[in-house]
Structure 1
Amino acid sequence: MLVVGGGSVGLLAAALLTHHGVPVVLVERRSGPSVHPRATGIGPRTVEILRELGLDTAADAEAVDLRSSAGKAVARTVVEMGAGDVVTVPMPTPSADELDTMPFRLRGVCSQDRLDAVVAAYLARRGADLRWSTRLVGIAQDADRVDVELAGPDGRYSLRCARVVAADGTHSAVRTALGVGTSGPGELGKSMLNILFRADLRPHLRGMSFATCTITTPEAPGLLATVDGETNWVFHVACDVEGNERQEDFTHERCTAVVRAAVGDPNLAVEVRSVLPWRPRSCMADRFAVGRVFLVGDAAHTVSPLGAFGLNTGVADAHNLAWKLGAVHKGEAGAGLLDTYAQEREPVAVATLDQAMRRLPDPDLHWGRGPEADAARTAAGVWAAPVVHLGQRYDSAAVVDPQPELPSTVDLAVTLDGSPGSRLPHAWVDGVSTLDLVASRWTLLVGGAGDRWLTAAADVGLPAHRVHAPWLSDDGSMLVRPDAIVAMRVTALVPDPARLLTDVLDQVLARPTPVPVPVSST
Structure 2
Amino acid sequence: MNENVDLHVPVLIVGGSLVGLSASLFLGRLGVEHLLVEKHSATSTHPRGRGNNVRTMEIFRKAGVEPQIRAAASVLAENHGILQAGSLTGDDQEWLFKEIDPGGALARFSPTGWCLCSQNDLEPVLLDRAREQGGDLRFSTELLSFDPDGSGVGAALKNRETGEHTSVRADYLIAADGPRSPVREQLRIGRSGAGDLFHNVSITFRSRRLADVLGDRRFIVCYLTNPDADGALLPVDNEEQWVFHAPWQPGLGETLEDFTDERCAAHIRRAVGAPDIDVEITGKAPWHAAERVADRYSRGRVFLAGDSAHEMSPTGAFGSNTGIQDAHNLAWKLAAVLRGEAGPGLLDTYGAERLPVARATSERASARSGEHSHPGYAPPPTVGGGKRGGMLNVALGYRYVDGAVLGVAADQPVVPQGMQLTGEPGSRAPHLWVRRAGERISTLDLYERSFVLLADGADVAWRRAAARVGDRLAVRLDAFGIGTGPGGDLEPEAGADWAEAHGTSTEGAVLVRPDGFVAWRSETGVADAEATLLDVMVSLLHRD
1:390 aligns with 2:396: yes
* 1:459 alignment counterpart: 468
Native 8 Å contact 2:179 2:307 kept in 1:
yes
* 2:492 alignment counterpart: none
* 2:151 alignment counterpart: 144
* 2:195 alignment counterpart: 186
Separation (CA, whole Å) in 2 of partners of 1:141 and 1:395: 30
* 1:343-358 superposed matches below 5 A: 343-358=352-367
* 2:45 alignment counterpart: 35
Of residues 406, 430, 447, the one that matches 1:438 is 447
Higher mean alpha-carbon deviation, 201-210 vs 58-67, is at 58-67
Native 8 Å contact 1:448 1:475 kept in 2:
no
- Residues 474 and 122 of structure 1: CA distance in aligned 2, closer, same or farther (over 3 Å): same
**Would you say how many aligned residue pairs link Structure 1 and Structure 2?**
494
Native 8 Å contact 2:428 2:517 kept in 1:
yes
Amino acid at match of 1:206: G
* 1:328-339 superposed matches below 5 A: 328-339=337-348
* 2:521 alignment counterpart: 489
Amino acid at match of 2:179: T
* 1:357-372 superposed matches below 5 A: 357-363=366-372
* 1:418 alignment counterpart: 423
Native 8 Å contact 2:399 2:414 kept in 1:
no
1:131 aligns with 2:163: no
Separation (CA, whole Å) in 1 of partners of 2:72 and 2:257: 33
* 2:539 alignment counterpart: 507
Separation (CA, whole Å) in 1 of partners of 2:480 and 2:41: 46
TM-score (norm 2): 0.84
Amino acid at match of 2:510: M
TM-score (norm 1): 0.87
* 1:217-236 superposed matches below 5 A: 217-218=226-227, 220-236=229-245
* 1:370 alignment counterpart: none
Q: CA deviation at 1:225?
A: 1.1
Native 8 Å contact 2:353 2:403 kept in 1:
no
For structure 2, the residue ranges without an aligned partner over 5 or more in a row are 1-10, 375-381, 471-476, 483-496
- 3-state DSSP of counterpart to 1:163: strand
Q: CA deviation at 1:252?
A: 4.0
As a proportion of its length, which structure holds more strand? 2
Separation (CA, whole Å) in 2 of partners of 1:74 and 1:102: 29
Higher mean alpha-carbon deviation, 5-14 vs 231-240, is at 231-240
Native 8 Å contact 2:236 2:242 kept in 1:
yes
Query: C-alpha deviations, 1:143-185, integer Å up to 9, x for none?
Result: 1110112222222332211110001111001111112122222
Separation (CA, whole Å) in 2 of partners of 1:203 and 1:360: 29
Q: CA deviation at 1:403?
A: 3.5
Native 8 Å contact 1:64 1:227 kept in 2:
no
- Residues 119 and 287 of structure 1: CA distance in aligned 2, closer, same or farther (over 3 Å): same
* 2:319 alignment counterpart: 310
* 1:371 alignment counterpart: none
* 2:8 alignment counterpart: none
Native 8 Å contact 2:463 2:479 kept in 1:
yes
1:479 aligns with 2:485: no
* 1:9 alignment counterpart: 19
Q: CA deviation at 1:264?
A: 4.8
Q: CA deviation at 1:465?
A: 2.1
Amino acid at match of 2:392: P
1:250 aligns with 2:282: no
Amino acid at match of 1:124: R
Q: CA deviation at 1:214?
A: 1.8
- 3-state DSSP of counterpart to 1:272: strand
Q: CA deviation at 1:507?
A: 1.6
Native 8 Å contact 2:35 2:135 kept in 1:
yes
Query: C-alpha deviations, 1:201-248, integer Å up to 9, x for none?
Result: 43333233111112234553200012233332211001259x974222
Native 8 Å contact 1:377 1:383 kept in 2:
no
Q: CA deviation at 1:50?
A: 0.6
Native 8 Å contact 1:65 1:109 kept in 2:
no
- Residues 377 and 292 of structure 1: CA distance in aligned 2, closer, same or farther (over 3 Å): closer
- Residues 220 and 64 of structure 1: CA distance in aligned 2, closer, same or farther (over 3 Å): farther
* 1:53 alignment counterpart: 63
1:85 aligns with 2:92: yes
* 1:285 alignment counterpart: 294
1:428 aligns with 2:433: yes
